Amino acid sequence: MSQFKRRDFLKMSAGLAAGVPLLAHGQAKPAAFAYRPEKGARLRVLRWKRFVQGDEDAFMAHTRRFEQKFGVQVRVDHEGFEDVRPKAAVAANVGSGPDVIYGFFDDPHLYPDKLVDVTDVANYLGAKYGGWYDVCRTYGMSGGKWIAVPLGAAGACFTHRISHVQAAGFREFPKDTAGFLELCKALKAKGTPPGFALGNATGDANSWCHWLVWAFGGKMVDEKNNVVINSPETIRALEYGKELYQTFVPGTLSWLDPNNNKAFLDGQISVTNNGISIYYAAKNATDPKVKELAPDIGHANFPIGPIGRATELHLFSQAMIFKYSKVQQAAKAYVAFMMEKEQYEPWQQAAIGYVTQPLKAYESNPIWTVDPKHTPYRDCVKNMTPNSYAGRLGYASAGTMADFVMVNMVAEAASGSRSPKEAAERAQARAQRYYKV
């Protein structure tokens, strides 16, 4: 007590007068976010269409709870993955549309000046729920402020038929790219091939194509945002991809996000990269032939390539609130409400972990350990590399991804429509159109 000085008393008095609770040593506890929707507000929300029914059911149930609690009417529209990005871009450009859009990856960085500052929401959630993973700050922040609130990522693992992997001569799923290629060759020889999306699939094609290039040391840009995709490392990755493609089931060049789910559940393929939605569909199927697949489904994290470390990209989603909205406080309240533990954890559970959390506190959600097949998805966001790697995230990285430069390069080289060198040269030229701005 003898060391309690007058300035400490003044700090405490000021804090109490402002209604700010104090922690030890006079540190102020972060103020709670103020839920203050506009009177009579009507909210329009756009998000991606579910791949797991429990996701949509829980999301809508929590939306109804929000309506009842705050007296705000909410309309939620669901669009296919590939349709969300162009609809968000149109809304930003014309200044009209949904108040809240749950978009993908670095979409907010295409039009940061059109978005509401949500720093208050993000700081509140981060302080309350253990902090944001680093990649979330990369995606959600621009110019020192939050321009979007991360929802999480539809994590991707290598979904596989356990019995088919074993029949191909492997006791466990390979942990490196060399072993993975040998597995795929063996699976094709057994008549149980793999299949990976090579069309403009926002989630599945982006995740595995970026993994492939990064695993061999390739990257779109360097630390100074210079385009360097045309490199020996990239060409080596593309040569590997071409060899891998020879094992694929026919038709993957046109696959979008739903295709590998269907092909796997139909028994056409034995390995693909996907969220936990395939397992969910099998467990909840009414068709006995599909339901019997569930015990034979395994999940493995992406194999490690020559670079020697994890190189994962997952379908990252975040909520954007547009400045044209006349109910910005209601929009903030809705976004924050859906991220609170009372809503977020049950939502994850209803979707058996289809979306991996952006906030560290939710690592302890029982959904990740109730079934060991869920666990590989738990750390997807924690381990994720941003698609801007190794440079800065912004308009150029967002535009390059929206144009599927990485995916198209891999598809061209894999299919043989261009040599690996030609595909890398074309990708270099396409990316430079964005990075020269």
pLDDT digits over 40-72, tens only? 999 999 999 999 999 999 999 999 999 999 999
Query: Looking at per-residue confidence, does 356 or 436 come out higher?
Result: 356
d(CA 40, CA 253): 49
Q: For residue 28, what pLDDT band results from cuts at 50, 70 and 90?
A: very low
pLDDT digits over 91-129, tens only? 999 999 999 999 999 999 999 999 999 999 999 999 999
Residues 6+ positions from 257 with CB-CB distance below 8 Å: 51, 80, 81, 82, 197, 201, 202, 203, 204
d(CA 368, CA 356): 10
SS (H, E, C) 329-356: HHHHHHHHHHHCHHHHHHHHHHCCCCCE
pTM tops 0.85, yes or no? yes
Q: Boundaries of CATH 3.40.190.10 in the chain?
A: 42-153+316-377, 157-313+403-435
Note the CATH architecture for domain 157-313+403-435: 3-Layer(aba) Sandwich (3.40)
Residue-level pLDDT at 2? 38
**Once rounded to an integer, what is the mean pLDDT over residues 306-323?**
97
Specify the range with the lowest mean pLDDT, choosing from 16-30, 141-155, 263-277.
16-30
One-letter amino acid at 32 equals A
Query: Pairing between strand 157-161 and 271-274?
Result: antiparallel
d(CA 172, CA 297): 13
Which superfamily, per CATH, for 42-153+316-377? Periplasmic binding protein-like II (3.40.190.10)
Q: Whole-number mean pLDDT of the chain?
A: 93
Residue with tokens 């390069």: 409
Say whether pLDDT at 5 is over 70. no
Residues 6+ positions from 72 with CB-CB distance below 8 Å: 37, 41, 42, 43, 66, 327, 330, 333, 334
Residue-level pLDDT at 33? 83
**Once rounded to an integer, what is the mean pLDDT over residues 406-435?**
98
Strand order in the sheet with 149-154: 73-79, 42-48, 100-104, 315-321, 149-154
